[in-house]
Amino acid sequence: MGDGSRPECTLCQDPCPGGALLETYDRNLSWLQDYRLGGSRQFTTPAGRGRIFVQASVRQEISMRHSNLRFLPVILFPAVAYLFSIGPLLSPWPAAEEPSASAIELNNLGVGCMNRFLYREAAEEFRKALATDPGFNLARINLGIALFYDQELDAAQQALDEALSRDPSNPYANFSLGLILKNKGSAAQAEAHFKRVIDFDPKCAAAFYHLGVIHARQGRANEAEAALRHALELDPTNAAALYNLGSLLVKLGRAREGHEFFEKFRALQPGAGISSGMGSGPQYGKAGKYALARDGRSDTPRH
């Protein structure tokens, strides 16, 4: 700052007489207001999200050495409005539409099969839903989940990869693909997908649990312990996190502390021996909410 009272101008590095503020006077762009020169603002319009970088003041009292910037708003406002008006046209995917009623019905039949642990039959219903409406991304994610529980990992990964190409931030697709990659031993890729889930839902205990297991397998003991403890902070009844944190602490030479977690695990799993671990295969309904197939409704977008 020049004299400590006004922001310096990025053009001349001197205190800006006009305060270097961009003030609102356009009613259609009211989100653009009171930001210092060089500042930025993330905003949302009906056409999408974006970020604008304020490059100049528009106050009339700004010094004449910046007079070449006086007409910037005349260019800036129409340009921003134009870009956002054509934004949807630049998207690689069409705007979301409602899926067909027949595709929703077939998807829901598949969800019913999943609830009865009929994974192969569920996958067939989800395939029928996609054949009826190829843009119904929910059915594609459900297909990947069904194939995962049926241990068709390659086919499941293919379905979920395609689903994420249409909806990259979808927590169900990211979580399920993380499970697949973790089971395949692709730790770095699995970690990336679980972190995307956490970005979407910072309170997802299951995602922190799986990150902890991945870190433990990689020998990143401190990160593993932190992730597993955080999973238990979010969900103290997470038996898998209790068991794995106990195992980790014992391996680290902290046996007394580790056995405290084993005791908590036993309290949640009556009759379970420590050697039983957490089972050898995926259990539908116990892997977390983002590993569950979902019903389709008339307001479910196709993507």
| pLDDT tens, position by position, 67-101 | 444 444 444 444 444 444 444 444 444 445 688 89
E strands present in the chain: 21-22, 35-36, 40-45, 48-53
Dihedral sign, CA of 83, 86, 90, 94? positive
Total-model pTM: 0.66
End-to-end CA, the chain: 48
- Over residues 263-300, the pLDDT tens digits come to 999 998 765 544 434 444 578 988 889 999 999 874 45
Identify the structural domains of the chain with CATH numbers, from first to last.
21-90 (no CATH), 97-199+284-303 (1.25.40.10), 203-281 (1.25.40.10)
